[in-house]
Amino acid sequence: MQSVDDLQKKNKPQLISVVVENNQDGYLARIPGIQGAFAEGDTPQDAIFNCIDVLKIIIDYKKEQNKPLNLETIELSDDSCLTFAIPIQI
């Protein structure tokens, strides 16, 4: 696993997995493998964005503590193309 500093030095986007599930109060988004990386939201989008905010806090904390992130990532090359589906409510 790479440290936060190692990932930031690459200065390239990294892919992470985010799982979104229905729950009693709306939606829950979580990042598998990162303890505490989860958040709720009224919509799937809210849950995802809230989870990303939580992940940023975890990254900052781990960087301050000089701890590994323990996050499996996929590095995108400059010529990569990424397509994904995001659930939306209309």
Tens of pLDDT, residue by residue over 1-45, are 555 566 566 666 667 888 999 999 899 999 988 899 999 999 989
Token pair of 74 as six digits? 């996929």
> Any idea where the domains of the chain sit in the sequence?
15-67
- Strand, coil or helix: 75: strand
Total-model pTM: 0.71
Q: Could you read off the pLDDT of 60-72 as tens digits, one per residue?
A: 998 898 888 776 6
Token pair of 5 as six digits? 């500093």
pLDDT at site 16: 81
Per-residue HEC secondary structure of the chain comes to: CCEHHHHHHHCCCEECCCEEEEECCEEEEECCCCCCCEEEECCHHHHHHHHHHHHHHHHHHHHHCCCECCCCCEECCCCCCCCCCCCCCC
Task: Classify domain 15-67 by CATH number.
Answer: 3.30.160.250
